[in-house]
Structure 1
Amino acid sequence: FYAGQTLRQLIGPNEIPAVTIEDHPRFGWRGMLLDVSRHFFTTDEVKRMIDLNARQKLNVFHWHLTDDGGWRMESKAFPELTKRGAWRDYPPKGKWDYSNIVFPEKRSGDEYGGFYTQNEIKDVVAYAKRRHVTVVPEIEMPGHSQSALQAYPQYGHENLPEGQKSYSFCGGKEETFRFLEKIVDETMALFPSKFIHIGGDEVDKTQWRRCPRCQDRIRAEGLKDVDELQSYFVRRMDKYIASKGRRLIGWDEILEGGLAPGATVMSWRGIQGGIAAAKEGKDVVMSPTSHLYLDYSYDTIPTSLVYAYDPIPKELTAEEGKRILGAQGNVWTEWIPTLADAERMAYPRAAALAEAVWTPLVRKSWPDFTRRLDGVLDTLDRLGVAYRVDAPGLERTAFLSTDSVSLAVPSARRGWTLRMTDDGTPVTATSRMVDRLNLAPGTVGRFAFVRNRDGVVSPEARVEVRRGGPIPNPGTLKPGLNVYALKGDFRKVPTVEDKDPVGTATTIDLSRKPVAEKFALRFTGYVYIPEEGDYAFTIRSDDGAILKISDLPVVDHDGEHGTTAKTGRVYLRRGLYPIDLGYFDAGGASTLSLSVTPPNGPETPLPADWLFHQ
């Protein structure tokens, strides 16, 4: 089968090259997830996604069948799961709203949803098998279970505040486990896969702390806290699934309170969960938000970042690395309501993932992949797939100049046209075409590729030309930058007033953070540029950060996100420039660094002897 896919990829417009290929995959788990709970996809749409993945030799289809957004698998034992739990009230304008999830007892006909009959599921599983794809089902427990618990509230918690619904299954009721075991039995009858995914992520444990039945369980089993109650819950399900000859897999929260003996970990909150599990001798599938959450924008996770991902962390020994089964890309659909939207988010990033988990590290080459990607995109064009391309790659993203600047722009691939605006408006299918141009100071150029067949617009590249250059020496300067701090709950980089600095810094990092999480920092002062030329500045952060030089935005990496990098390029003359870097942490993990690649030089942390303040 895979030889046939390779042959498909080799076929050119008029010929098939005469070659001999000996090939095998680096990893056994080469997966893609499709979330059908938040938004529902028909069996034909699911089959199309399986087809596209199989063409890239991706061999696992992770079917996220249940969540707060809806229950999508028919149950003969518990028919209310789909009679009620598959149909939710539709928020205004059809947008996803986590705070307004209601599954009405009586349907009006205006609800949103759908489900798969057991026969439809068997058909999809057989369809995938013929394409050498294993379908791994996910039945969420103990959290992300509102669709089930609004249909069967008796398996939820007691003693909740008036009007509050259960968000998770009660771990103190024996009837809860009998219910879930019957669901697992039905699931295993439909899916022959070795692994059964139980979710296990993002459990709201405040309800477990309030629930007297959960607290009774903690005391009866000698558990320390609700984390150990979650471990107890997972261990029971692990034991039951193992008794049926299958294996449990769950998101990395199943590590909390102790990992079940036979469990496999799917590491999504970065790579640390995967590292910890592998070091315990457990199997792991890597799926970190930083590289493989394909519902994130292409600005946050470009195709190149997916391609660069190596599933085996450097922290593992060679023996521990054998525990990494592979990697998986995830398409979560809160904001992806249609098949075309799902295709745009998945492709071509899924093709990059496919090569990252198939090809040996020593054979990987991004320039070579981009050359061969044209053939993949030609195939997607023939199939009518609504794929996206990355933003145009520009030689610079910012200029400080007193004169007009000349800008070379990249050529568009077959079937696409490069278009631009210079009046601040977004690029559209009717914006003017361009191959080279001059930009005057005070101009912002916005560039995007537009697909000719349907007018789809790629992510934009932005170039700003601002009048300016190095400033005169402002007087006595001291080493380092001033650092200002602010506590608070932020969703974007805030304005941090430069009143009372908390100190100075010669390194851009979080050593001056005022609290462990939910805070903002600002670094201000001057940066000395030692030679004229093109400079690339790279921010690596979790969450957002913005770098300005002479008030010109050079790197805009704002917004909530995991640890990712973003680079901006600017042409600078030798001399002193004002520098301003803002950062915020929205909670959870946090990191910040700033590096620079000078003309003809390697990337390094921004040198301390370049930084000054008054």
Structure 2
Amino acid sequence: MIRFSKIYLLLIIACLGLNVKISTAQIHVIPQPLHLTTQKGNFVLNSKAVIGVDKESAVIGKYLQGYLAQYYKLQLTLKVYTQIPPSTAIRLISSNLKGADGAYALSVTAGKITISGKGGGIFYGVQSLIQLLPSVAAKPLLIPVCAISDEPRFQWRGLSIDVCRHFFTVDEVKKYIDVMAHYKLNVLHWHLTDDEGWRIQIDKYPKLTEVGSRIAYYAKEGKFRKLDNLVDGGNDGFYTKAEIRDVIKYAQDRFVTILPEIEMPGHSEAAIFAYPELGCKDSTGAKHRVRMLDPSEYTFKFMEDVLTEVIALFPNQYVHIGGDEAEMADWLKSPTAVALMRKEGLKNEKEIQSYFIKRIEKFLISKNKKLVGWDEILQGGLAESATVMSWQGEAGGIEAARMHHHVVMTPLPYMYFDAPQANEQLEPIGWNPPVTWQMVYNYEPQSSQLTPAEAAYILGAQGNIWTEKIPNAVHLQYMVFPRALAVAELAWSSKEDKNIDRFEYKMKQQYPYFKLWNLNARLPDIVGIDHITTNADRFKQTLQYPLSGAQIRYSLNGKMPDSTAKAVAFPVNIDVTLKDSLQLKTYTSWNLNTQHILQSATIKHIKIKPREVGIAELKPGLGYKIFKAKENNYAKLEAVTPVSVTVITTAVPMIIPVSTDDVTLVKFSGLIKIDTEGDYELTSGFEVSPTLYLDNELLIAGEKNTYVEPQKALLHLKKGFYEFSGYYTANEANSKQTLFALKDTNGKLLDPPVYLFHL
């Protein structure tokens, strides 16, 4: 990929007439631009400004004009020029910038704003400009002087929407697209068919919508199975072709490509309910739920007819055909499938799946379209030109990339937004363990297991949302945002420039925009509500919050506050006697709407003391034992011979698992030497925590996600030696993470070789 050169950036700055002085703290553009400089001063935007465009950028100029009118009540004039005059206040200039598709340059001076790029590049520059605007319609509107040159890392920056389990209206889908566009996400994966509903009009088969779009109704009438997998029994609806064309045009104007998904051969219960002859037959005569398409010529003709109408609607070069969670064993009871196996020499049900997918692929190729499927389409043999969407972890994507097939990485758990965003006991019901925005942001689409040549087949990344437990658009927004912003940055910004602390700051600056757009993004957590182990006699903490106007209700008695409790403004100072343990529980709200978030932490009181140690017996470092096992059972390790016994003097041991088939367990023990009495903080940098003890007191509980259940020990330590031990399961991820960190009262990180010893 061609990057913007430093020389090119300096030319932009020279055009601004500025002396270079980097100061970007006030800029909070997401995703992080490739190059960004700022200077003192502002451009003042008022109603006298003219938006100058050329023929190619006119639609983007109209978009910007509409945005400023809607959210800032600014009625700007839009003028189309053959060559935009240099004096024009806002210039959107079509030009062939070097770099990836979507590259743009944005310059803001005290006198004018210039955005240049090609096609989508100008639009992306406008989105960066939107994030430079004040989040409230104050007068005058001040835009900070800056220069940005930028381009995307990946061309596939996706987000899905499942309208089958719960249906969402055209306006709700459009709003989803609006927010995607603000953060330069450019692929909307529209999940249009599934067991619980068929949502797209197909003229040749009207019962698909007459019957298949009304599954919730038929379930309530007792004519369809009970929809107990849906939080409220689901809802009904479908999109006419006119509505779909409207949404496609709306997305195109925002440089979002829509990927339609028509599920097959599984997840087809709604289609089968409408047209029973599609369903997989059972030669045993058993009655059961039928979700699988029979691999008959009738089925193939039916699906080809459906895809013909889908292709006529969607200009995207790709069509997603599902392929996941197919109950292939049903085919072994189908006379049609068994006959197909004999005819085609297929050995098993997986090869039937491969045959099915390849038949559909051949048809799509004949229509100049490319097939996308979930990673199960690898089973039985991958279709020749298929693009794989890797969801069951990364393994399928890695396998496909090694076969030189294009891949979109969208793996569990990181890219599944139907999971709770925090402690699942305190969040709305969801699938799977919690996935925090930090977990999303830390994900890297190009696995280290791939060679550079293989990694080039990774098209990008995508966040997915399945709506069984999401009954309305407000809840959908809560689950998707702000996690989608992390997808936007990891898929757009340079890998080398990822910075989670910077992103967290910028993400929290987006909430006034969310309020402006009336977007129900989940509120950020109060930072510092951690599970704490301490030997202090008092618990002191100040609770801060990044959003002005937020309020907190809290308790220290273990009872979770609700809306009836007394609310106070931030900051909140807590200073209480600590004799045993206490439970801190919080209820945080903001002035966006009625949304609130809950948090909980245990503050545990312990007693510790140094031990007597003969100085002559001391040896540097921690004793460190590595074991190979079949399960995570640390209690049995005393009877097992370790694979390796060593000494470590670093907090990042870099232990790689002993084999792919076994569990690698680690136990360590030794002493921490304290030279100066004072207050210390002990933490772990593992995403999944190790178990850590000091003086045989549990400080950090193991197997906890540090973003969901943050833990730390705050200890007053006298001069001396303290027994330190622990254990954990080693894996590739934590081999690059910090096992433990010790800081003094000034926050200074202490050097492990100075304080680690063993006997």
Q: TM-score range by the shorter chain?
A: 0.7 to 0.9
Partner residue in 1 for 2:591:
452
Call closer, same or farther: CA 1:381–1:203 in 2, change over 3 Å.
Answer: same
Partner residue in 2 for 1:41:
168
Deviates more, 1:503-512 or 1:3-12: 503-512
Code of the residue aligned with 1:128 in structure 2: it is A
Matched, 1:11 2:145: no
Work out whether residues 625 and 666 of structure 2, in 8 Å CA contact, stay in contact via their aligned partners in 1: no
The within-5 A match list for 1:48-127 is 48-89=175-216, 100-101=226-227, 112-127=235-250
2:359 alignment partner, one of 236, 244, 248: 236
The within-5 A match list for 1:94-493 is 100-101=226-227, 112-159=235-282, 162-171=286-295, 173-299=296-422, 300-394=434-528, 396-401=530-535, 403-429=537-563, 430=565, 432-433=567-568, 435-439=572-576, 440=578, 441-447=580-586, 449-469=588-608
SS in 2 for 1:61: strand
Deviates more, 1:389-398 or 1:3-12: 389-398
Q: Deviations over 1:435-470 (max 9, x none)?
A: 221352311112453223424223525242233436
Work out whether residues 371 and 387 of structure 2, in 8 Å CA contact, stay in contact via their aligned partners in 1: yes
Alignment partners' CA distance in 1, 2:264 and 2:757:
53
Partner residue in 2 for 1:535:
682
Call closer, same or farther: CA 1:91–1:244 in 2, change over 3 Å.
Answer: closer
Alignment partners' CA distance in 2, 1:564 and 1:223:
48
Call closer, same or farther: CA 1:510–1:455 in 2, change over 3 Å.
Answer: farther
Structure 1 position 592, deviation (Å): 9.1
For the pair shown, the structure with the greater C-alpha radius of gyration is 2
Work out whether residues 391 and 461 of structure 1, in 8 Å CA contact, stay in contact via their aligned partners in 2: no
Structure 1 position 366, deviation (Å): 2.4
Matched, 1:570 2:713: yes
Work out whether residues 408 and 458 of structure 2, in 8 Å CA contact, stay in contact via their aligned partners in 1: yes
Q: Deviations over 1:341-369 (max 9, x none)?
A: 11111111112221221111233322322
Work out whether residues 153 and 166 of structure 1, in 8 Å CA contact, stay in contact via their aligned partners in 2: no
Code of the residue aligned with 1:401 in structure 2: it is N
Alignment partners' CA distance in 1, 2:268 and 2:707:
30
Q: Deviations over 1:271-295 (max 9, x none)?
A: 2211111111111111112321122
SS in 1 for 2:149: coil
Deviates more, 1:234-243 or 1:223-232: 223-232
TM-score by length of 2: 0.66
Deviates more, 1:6-15 or 1:130-139: 6-15
SS in 1 for 2:148: coil
Alignment partners' CA distance in 1, 2:585 and 2:321:
45
Work out whether residues 596 and 603 of structure 1, in 8 Å CA contact, stay in contact via their aligned partners in 2: no
Call closer, same or farther: CA 1:546–1:188 in 2, change over 3 Å.
Answer: same
Structure 1 position 5, deviation (Å): 1.1
Work out whether residues 143 and 202 of structure 1, in 8 Å CA contact, stay in contact via their aligned partners in 2: yes
Alignment partners' CA distance in 1, 2:741 and 2:603:
20
Structure 1 position 206, deviation (Å): 2.1
Call closer, same or farther: CA 1:339–1:578 in 2, change over 3 Å.
Answer: same
Q: Deviations over 1:105-141 (max 9, x none)?
A: xxxxx98321111211111111111111111111111
Q: Deviations over 1:522-554 (max 9, x none)?
A: 99998865558322235556xxx9958578684
Work out whether residues 582 and 604 of structure 2, in 8 Å CA contact, stay in contact via their aligned partners in 1: yes
Deviates more, 1:78-87 or 1:127-136: 78-87
Alignment partners' CA distance in 1, 2:387 and 2:350:
18
Call closer, same or farther: CA 1:313–1:554 in 2, change over 3 Å.
Answer: same
Call closer, same or farther: CA 1:500–1:330 in 2, change over 3 Å.
Answer: closer
Q: Deviations over 1:457-512 (max 9, x none)?
A: 23525242233436989xxxx9869999999xxxxxxxx99799874778999989
Call closer, same or farther: CA 1:220–1:399 in 2, change over 3 Å.
Answer: same
Alignment partners' CA distance in 1, 2:609 and 2:728:
18
Alignment partners' CA distance in 1, 2:601 and 2:487:
27
Partner residue in 2 for 1:493:
none
Alignment partners' CA distance in 2, 1:470 and 1:483:
34
Work out whether residues 533 and 699 of structure 2, in 8 Å CA contact, stay in contact via their aligned partners in 1: no
Call closer, same or farther: CA 1:481–1:283 in 2, change over 3 Å.
Answer: closer
Structure 1 position 22, deviation (Å): 2.1
Alignment partners' CA distance in 1, 2:751 and 2:306:
53
Code of the residue aligned with 2:262 in structure 1: it is I
Partner residue in 2 for 1:492:
none
Deviates more, 1:40-49 or 1:527-536: 527-536
Segments of 5+ residues of structure 2 without an aligned counterpart are 1-122, 423-433, 613-622, 646-652, 744-748
The within-5 A match list for 1:521-600 is 533-537=680-684, 554-555=700-701, 567-572=710-715, 575-576=722-723, 596-600=739-743
Q: CA RMSD in A?
A: 4.1
Work out whether residues 264 and 282 of structure 1, in 8 Å CA contact, stay in contact via their aligned partners in 2: yes
SS in 2 for 1:47: helix
Work out whether residues 420 and 427 of structure 1, in 8 Å CA contact, stay in contact via their aligned partners in 2: yes
Segments of 5+ residues of structure 1 without an aligned counterpart are 104-109, 488-495, 584-588
Code of the residue aligned with 1:100 in structure 2: it is K
Code of the residue aligned with 2:143 in structure 1: it is I
Alignment partners' CA distance in 2, 1:470 and 1:90:
67
Partner residue in 1 for 2:42:
none
Work out whether residues 188 and 257 of structure 2, in 8 Å CA contact, stay in contact via their aligned partners in 1: yes
Code of the residue aligned with 1:296 in structure 2: it is A
Structure 1 position 254, deviation (Å): 0.9
Work out whether residues 419 and 449 of structure 1, in 8 Å CA contact, stay in contact via their aligned partners in 2: yes
Alignment partners' CA distance in 2, 1:325 and 1:522:
36
Q: Deviations over 1:215-245 (max 9, x none)?
A: 2222221222212221111111111111100
Call closer, same or farther: CA 1:486–1:553 in 2, change over 3 Å.
Answer: same
TM-score by length of 1: 0.81
Alignment partners' CA distance in 2, 1:100 and 1:551:
51
Partner residue in 2 for 1:491:
none
Identical aligned residues as a percent:
32
Structure 1 position 202, deviation (Å): 1.1
